[in-house]
Structure 1
Amino acid sequence: MSSQHPTADAFAQLAVELHDSDGVAETVETAVQFARQALSCRYAGLVLIERGQTPVIAAVTAPVITRLYQLQLDSGQGPLMASLESRTPVSVADATTDDRWSPEWAALTASIGIRSVLHLPLMPASQPVGVLSLFGEQPNSFDSDDLAIGHILARHASIAVANARNEETMAQAVDARKLVGQAMGILMERFDLDADRAFGVLRRYSQDSNTKLRDVAQQLIDTRKLPPVSQ
């Protein structure tokens, strides 16, 4: 592809931008925009694996890529799914001649004007967190240098996504503790309970109503009432 590959300074800047991104959504958006520019490709996208091992479309540089992703997620077939399952890079040199994938995938890529595809798994550890995808308008768009650059991009993105997820999880845990503490305070004041009994009330309502503890706390704070318990 283009001989104008990103410099060490560009990668350093990417690392800073990824670190400074606010949450997972902004992190993946930063990653795909840099990837598209770094490899001078037409489109880029990123699919994340959610906690329940469900792949979801996290970022695309154009709506047409959402269609291409969704076709593969719905059918369970295609180079994206192959990369997710094998945890290895999957490349398509020419989508018009590659017969490994379904006719529907070939037809859609042709209609979009995509000839070359490169899917790179995001592997911060032994388990993948997603796949970074690059799409070119010409056959054989991605050479060995592009693949090496793509690996570096995927490594940066995988670490950034993992860190962003951890930070969001920690923030949610802190927020949940604050909510439960507020709700306990309401119960302690209204019913003259100590902290242990107030927490026991919240936990019982959480179990009986099959509602998360933080959601029970939030409802009590918002309405000053505990959620109804189905009989």
Structure 2
Amino acid sequence: MGGVDQTRGIVARFAELAVELHESEGVQETVDVVVEFALQALSCSYAGIALAVRGRDFEVPAATDPVVTKIYEFQVSGGEGPLVESMRDHVTVVVRDTAIDQRWPEWADRVRELGVRSVLDVPLTTGSGVVGVLGLYSAEVDAFGADDEAVAHILARHASVALATARNAENLASAVDARKLVGEAMGILMERYDLDADRAFQVLKRYSQQNNRKLRNVAQDLVDTRNLPQSEHPR
């Protein structure tokens, strides 16, 4: 009977999680919901999410304790560890005991000094690849059993879909804002210098390319100052 009750409890928790993730308004709120759920539902002392970021290894937008951030920083500086392997190879990595695991001895020593004895890193994946890693940490040796791994994988799937949705929504909102901003800057040029829309856009585009700046930033400067730089001629 206990097993049935436990299963019902887990199902109920995931139902609540699904609702919370659906109501999350952005990436930050989404990852916060996931790590808090992990802390409640799994045998872990700490939880965190590292997200893959274009142009650098990853960022840590959510952690239930500063210890998690330190663990991630150790791997960034050393270039190795379970998180790095999980994100690179798209695999789940389990460290049963940091006192005896020999795969990353320097990392294990530093993590053990923080009071962490076992680790479970699960990749967050979508159709386009790995978007991040869910990291679970415990002060107990061999804290993560088969049931914990199964729950962690289900949580990772929920989180992956929610993060992809949140990122797409934020990217779409950003693109819409950028178009509005460029349109406003074009309007200023058209009114001030008697240009048509095509010519006004070409002026913005030319200045963007010559100064190696994003078109959105050029438009923002023009909207803020109401003027082009002295060196830029609108014709």
Q: Deviations over 1:152-202 (max 9, x none)?
A: 000011111111110110000000000001001111111111111111111
Matched length:
227
- Candidates 181, 190, 193, aligned match of 2:192: 190
Q: 1:205 maps to which residue?
A: 207
Deviation, 1:9, is: 2.1
Distance 2:43 2:112 in 1: 20
How do 1:133-172 residues align onto structure 2 when only pairs under 5 Å count?
A: 133-172=135-174
- Candidates 31, 35, 46, aligned match of 1:43: 46
Distance 2:118 2:43 in 1: 13
Distance 1:228 1:76 in 2: 46
- Closer, same or farther in 2 for the Cα pair 1:158/1:188, shift >3 Å? same
Distance 2:50 2:114 in 1: 19
Distance 1:107 1:123 in 2: 29
CA contact (8 A) 1:89 1:121 kept: yes
Q: Deviations over 1:197-219 (max 9, x none)?
A: 11111111111111111111100
| Structure 2 unaligned spans of 5+ | none
Query: Which amino acid letter does the alignment assign opposite residue 90 of structure 2?
Result: R
How do 1:58-137 residues align onto structure 2 when only pairs under 5 Å count?
A: 58-103=61-106, 105-137=107-139
CA contact (8 A) 1:35 1:44 kept: yes
- Closer, same or farther in 2 for the Cα pair 1:229/1:92, shift >3 Å? farther
SS of equivalent residue, structure 1 residue 123: strand
Deviation, 1:21, is: 1.2
Q: Once the two structures are aligned, what percentage of the paired residues are identical? A: 55
CA contact (8 A) 2:57 2:76 kept: no
CA contact (8 A) 1:115 1:139 kept: yes
Distance 2:187 2:78 in 1: 50
| Structure 1 unaligned spans of 5+ | none
CA contact (8 A) 1:216 1:227 kept: no
> Given the two structures, how large is their TM-score scaled by the length of structure 1?
0.93
SS of equivalent residue, structure 2 residue 143: coil
Deviation, 1:140, is: 1.3
SS of equivalent residue, structure 1 residue 178: helix
Q: Deviations over 1:90-146 (max 9, x none)?
A: 00111111111132x222222221111000000112510000010111111111111
